Structure 1
């Protein structure tokens, strides 16, 4: 027996905003309901928004998305990843480090691009879980111009595409577009004006920032809400989709982050203690430890001794070797790229310590 559900179903939305650099993608995303940013490129410094620390590794980015999901819709209304093309670079670096490759081309036969597409697909599944938790997800992205030729047409023409790598875009860009409920292309609307009597010379005029909501031969866009083909770059024109008032959001408050429970020990529910000291000083970690690894250690409350014990248990390196002296390829390819397995070993060691 199956229950029949009729009518529309109100859910959180999966949104992609893309366009040229500096067009206003981040500013638009900042107007979504109670947004929290994962700023992969450091472009929101001038915005009064809530933001998580800039992820220094692909694993850290995934942990941050999982943490937002666990906080729930009562705390955050929107998760903004700004931008997804910079996030993809973290993904590529992680895969290359895990396979001891210098670049994605070193895999041969296009295998590297397949690995990237598969990992991006898993990440989109994680973001879908965030949406299921009632939190909108907004991915911002840069645009690139590519040559495009339709199979049933003669000749090629230029069109705008998500900037997800010159070659990986053939796999990851379609994944992102298919995943999204709404894809908005943002650009300056220009038109040409003849400068001579014969109309042979023209110059561009205009420059109004415009949101394009439907597919066009020159760009990708879509929506499922009956939006006009073109809209001014004004959040109030799409606010009804997200069931929030169009007035300005209240000033953002600082966010005290904690590691997700699936990858880190539980934390106290009491008010967090603030400190002006840098995170590495608060944690007591050696500042010479490789940055992405140190970030994961801080977020998951892992000590240097625990890393040394986990490494020694697998007989990778001597137990008394300082973490700051570990070979870089080992740190990137094993400790950072496979942090989930490393942390599982650390939890296992903790469980074995008698009280």
Structure 2
């Protein structure tokens, strides 16, 4: 026997906003309730928004999304700005893990199959975040490409997502509850009396196309008109506000209740063998204070995030390919000496190898297996045979 239910189900929304550069996609996404940005390209710098560290690798991006899945009270809306820059990280990850110099090394189209599979993991993870009550917003750039229907003569230009046309773009459009195309409204008029010359007028009014047309992709399940002004007020009635209320209520309750356990920094695995971040020290201090009947100081999630120690500045002579490793080390609170010790114990490097001497290919491989490295460190670096 299975229960039968009826009626509309209110749930967090998965929204894709795409359009030409500079039209205001990021600004619109910032108006979603309780927005927290994962800014893959640095396009939100002019806005006063909350952000996670800019991911410099695919592994780091997946870790940050996993952290929001595990701690959904940190935001009401998760924004990835932009999806096409996230796709670049995905392609880099596939190439590094396979030892390719480019995505077309294995032959025509074969490399893109791996990209599609890997990017699908991100969409599945984002769906898990949505299931925890967090709205998801993806922004993306648009590009103009030639399109030809199989049963028609001739081709025409149309706006498309700036993603892999046959791999990631179809997945993202199917995954989203709403695909909104942001564009400028233009009108083509006759430029002369006989109508042989045309010119465009407008170009200043921004609109959202919400349904599919021959020249763009769009859809929505909200009953919006085919075209609406590019204004948050048009979208707001269809985006659940409850997640933001939950966050506010939780913070208000935390301020008057017993101290909650501080959340770890975004990471797929939380190592225990490294030097504790400041937030962890605060928690230990609170435990010691409680043992002496003193009232421990409450540590909010925001202050805990700020308390994560900043990475030591890399030497100017350090190769740029080590930057993703530095970011992962910061994210997981792993110090350089501890990482080198683990790599040496596994036999990957000698004990006197400096961090700056790690080769580019080895650094790329290390990024792809980072969860296994952090797990090994968390277990105390046991001897393996």
Structures share fold, TM-score greater than 0.5 = yes
Alpha carbons of structure 1 residues 273 and 155: separation in structure 2 relative to 1, 3 Å: closer
Q: What residue is the counterpart of 1:190 in the other structure?
A: 186
Among 269, 272, 279, which residue is 1:263 paired with? 269
Note if 1:180 corresponds to 2:176. Answer: yes
How far apart, CA to CA, are the structure 2 residues paired with 1:298 and 1:280? 6
**Equivalent runs, 1:329-344 vs 2, <5 Å:** 329-332=361-364, 334-344=365-375
Alpha carbons of structure 1 residues 194 and 144: separation in structure 2 relative to 1, 3 Å: same
Q: What residue is the counterpart of 2:121 in the other structure?
A: 122
Alpha carbons of structure 1 residues 276 and 75: separation in structure 2 relative to 1, 3 Å: closer
Partner SS state of residue 15, structure 1: strand
How far apart, CA to CA, are the structure 2 residues paired with 1:240 and 1:319? 60
How far apart, CA to CA, are the structure 1 residues paired with 2:268 and 2:328? 14
Partner SS state of residue 105, structure 2: helix
Report how far residue 257 of structure 1 moved.
Answer: 8.7
Q: What residue is the counterpart of 2:217 in the other structure?
A: 220
Report how far residue 131 of structure 1 moved.
Answer: 0.2
The structure with the largest alpha-carbon Rg is 2
**CA RMSD after TM alignment:** 2.5
For the 8 Å contact 2:12–2:134, the answer to whether it is kept is yes
Report how far residue 53 of structure 1 moved.
Answer: 1.3
For the 8 Å contact 2:267–2:332, the answer to whether it is kept is no
Partner SS state of residue 104, structure 1: coil
Q: What residue is the counterpart of 2:345 in the other structure?
A: 313
Partner SS state of residue 94, structure 1: helix
Q: TM-score, normalised by structure 2?
A: 0.82
For the 8 Å contact 1:36–1:49, the answer to whether it is kept is yes
How far apart, CA to CA, are the structure 2 residues paired with 1:274 and 1:144? 37
What is the number of residues matched between the two proteins?
336
Q: What residue is the counterpart of 2:25 in the other structure?
A: 25
Q: What residue is the counterpart of 1:60 in the other structure?
A: 60
How far apart, CA to CA, are the structure 1 residues paired with 2:101 and 2:158? 31
For the 8 Å contact 1:39–1:83, the answer to whether it is kept is yes
Q: TM-score, normalised by structure 1?
A: 0.88
Note if 1:47 corresponds to 2:47. Answer: yes
**Equivalent runs, 1:1-355 vs 2, <5 Å:** 1-72=1-72, 74-164=73-163, 168-207=164-203, 208-244=205-241, 258-260=264-266, 262-265=268-271, 268=280, 270=299, 272=303, 279-281=310-312, 288=318, 290-332=322-364, 334-349=365-380
For the 8 Å contact 2:140–2:161, the answer to whether it is kept is yes
Alpha carbons of structure 1 residues 191 and 275: separation in structure 2 relative to 1, 3 Å: closer
How far apart, CA to CA, are the structure 2 residues paired with 1:117 and 1:210? 31
Alpha carbons of structure 1 residues 156 and 24: separation in structure 2 relative to 1, 3 Å: same
How far apart, CA to CA, are the structure 2 residues paired with 1:27 and 1:219? 22
Report how far residue 106 of structure 1 moved.
Answer: 0.9
Alpha carbons of structure 1 residues 321 and 7: separation in structure 2 relative to 1, 3 Å: same
